[in-house]
């Protein structure tokens, strides 16, 4: 994973635990064949694609309280 993508994604999702959960869930979807929501001219890993999706606001999350 690219450090600059991690830093940028943390501006969108400040809580590192939530960021990890959102990215890991999306990586699983991408590995199962889901189409990326961002375009890139270079070959990106599923982790970097998920981070870019967070950075560009393509995926979001909701907190559910019990």
Q: How do residues 16-65 score in pLDDT, each as one tens digit? A: 999 999 999 999 999 999 999 999 999 999 999 999 999 999 998 888 78
pLDDT at residue 66 greater than cutoff 80: no
pTM of the shown model: 0.91
Report how far residue 5's alpha carbon sits from residue 11's, in angstroms, rounded to the nearest whole number. Answer: 10
Tokens coding 30 = 């991408």
- In order of 41, 44, 50, 57, 62, the CA distances from 18 in angstroms are 28, 22, 13, 15, 10
């Amino acid at each position: 994973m690219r450090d600059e993508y991690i830093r940028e994604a943390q501006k969108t999702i400040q809580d590192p635990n939530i960021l990890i959960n959102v990215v890991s869930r999306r990586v699983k979807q991408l590995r199962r064949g889901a189409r990326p929501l961002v375009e890139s001219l270079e070959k990106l890993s599923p982790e970097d694609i998920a981070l870019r999706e967070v950075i560009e606001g393509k995926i979001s999350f909701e907190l559910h309280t019990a």
